[in-house]
Amino acid sequence: MVALRPSSAKAKGRRLQQQVRDLIQKTFNLPAEDVRSTGMGQSGSDIQLSARARKAFPFSVECKNTERLQVWESWDQAVAHSGEDNLEPLLVFKRNRSETLACIRLDTLVALLKEKKR
């Protein structure tokens, strides 16, 4: 297996962030300035949300586009960033030729489903 150059790995990660950003904007009908993808190497959540966007989508997003995901390290990173933003952690991940998946706390999932049922 050939390792990606750092610039290629960053571009791969940036594409996933942009995909997530676009999905949030479209789903919640938010303007571009309310949902922004952060630059590679910046600290904090991978998707920056305005106050209006946080009301519609109360998650702190950590994106990972890699063949070998370190789940617990990635989750710890998502949790750390969520505390900075006072939002629920959300880990979004994918690998080549696979669908994009998301990881949230079980109690968060159950609360969302309960709210939907109302």
**How high is the pLDDT of residue 73?**
97
Range of the structural domain that residue 72 is part of: 6-117
Domain count, the chain: 1
| 8 Å CB contact between 74 and 62 | yes
Instruction: Judge whether 38 lies within some domain.
Output: yes
Q: Which of 34-38, 39-43, 44-48, 84-88 has the lowest mean pLDDT?
A: 39-43
pLDDT band at 43 (very low <50, low <70, confident <90, very high): confident
Q: pLDDT tens across 3-38, in order?
A: 666 666 667 778 999 999 999 999 999 999 999 998
Instruction: Judge whether 1 lies within some domain.
Output: no
Output the six-digit token pair for 41: 């190497």
Whether this model's pTM surpasses 0.85: yes
Q: pLDDT tens across 60-75, in order?
A: 999 999 999 999 999 9
Instruction: Judge whether 95 lies within some domain.
Output: yes
pLDDT band at 87 (very low <50, low <70, confident <90, very high): very high
**How high is the pLDDT of residue 106?**
97
CATH assignment of the domain containing 86 = 3.40.1350
Q: Which of 110, 103, 3 is nearest to 63 (CA)?
A: 103
| 8 Å CB contact between 76 and 65 | no
Return the ∠ at Cα 39 (arms to 30 and 68), rounded to 5°: 100
